[in-house]
A and B are shown apart, each in its own frame.
Chain A
């Protein structure tokens, strides 16, 4: 296996474990916690999110990672974000969260995972026919 491939694979395994472990412990997998954040009853989750952004910014700065080209605000951003926000609020899952919910024993999260897969495939199909906007998933 080439060194670059091995590095990517190792990175995905390490950061996947960290993501699953951290998100589960913060409480992002708990629908009640999310709902209390979105309705401003408990701002701890907003704090955790802001902390995550600050940590990522610090990590990029420490690694002297070159700044990527500015991503244009294309016409899929706003409608896509509206759909995503709606789905997040009613299911309690952004794409990775249902995996963590299933890992904590919540069997119905499998329905969310199935929906995410169907939604992504449907968007790829619709995009190739009509939108011409597909920028991948989380692919900055």
Chain B
């Protein structure tokens, strides 16, 4: 059952996003992540590599920290869990620092 329930959640997230993008007229099949990602991060094959590496960091980090922006950020912080407050401060702080580095380095 957990596999079915988790799969249902993922499919529902996809369906919710699809409905939102269709209703708002934002749906567009494209091979890039938008002009900002192209300008600040990478294009072409480098973009695919960066996205894959970014995904690995997100997956590994989420598992290691025991939660992500939803688990720690929304659920944990709303329940004043110390581990979640620390995790949220650190991942937001890191994302801020890396985002400024994208401007300066790339």
> Is there an interface contact between B17 and A103, defined as CB atoms closer than 8 Å?
yes
What is the size, in residues, of chain B's interface with A at 8 Å between Cβ atoms?
85
> Is there an interface contact between B102 and A90, defined as CB atoms closer than 8 Å?
yes
Known: A9-B5, A76-B66. A111 touches B55 (CB 8 A): yes
B residues 2-48 in Cβ contact with A at 8 Å:
4-6, 8-21, 24, 26-37, 40-41, 47-48
> Is there an interface contact between A92 and B78, defined as CB atoms closer than 8 Å?
no
B28 to chain A minimum Cβ distance, whole angstroms, is: 5
Known: A98-B55, A100-B14, A140-B67. A85 touches B78 (CB 8 A): no
> Is there an interface contact between A19 and B36, defined as CB atoms closer than 8 Å?
no
What is the size, in residues, of chain A's interface with B at 8 Å between Cβ atoms?
96
Interface 1/0 per residue, A56-74 and B, CB below 8 Å: 1100100000011011111
> Is there an interface contact between B31 and A108, defined as CB atoms closer than 8 Å?
yes
Interface residues of B (CB under 8 A from A): 1, 4-6, 8-21, 24, 26-37, 40-41, 47-48, 50-79, 81-84, 86-88, 90-100, 102-103
Q: Can you list 24 A-B pairs with a CB-CB distance of less than 8 A?
A: A13-B12, A17-B16, A20-B17, A20-B18, A30-B34, A35-B99, A56-B78, A76-B64, A76-B65, A77-B83, A85-B92, A88-B69, A89-B99, A91-B55, A94-B58, A99-B10, A100-B14, A102-B17, A107-B31, A108-B51, A111-B48, A115-B54, A120-B62, A139-B71
Interface residues of A (CB under 8 A from B): 5, 8-9, 12-25, 29-32, 35, 38-40, 49, 52-54, 56-57, 60, 67-68, 70-74, 76-96, 98-109, 111-124, 127, 131, 133-140
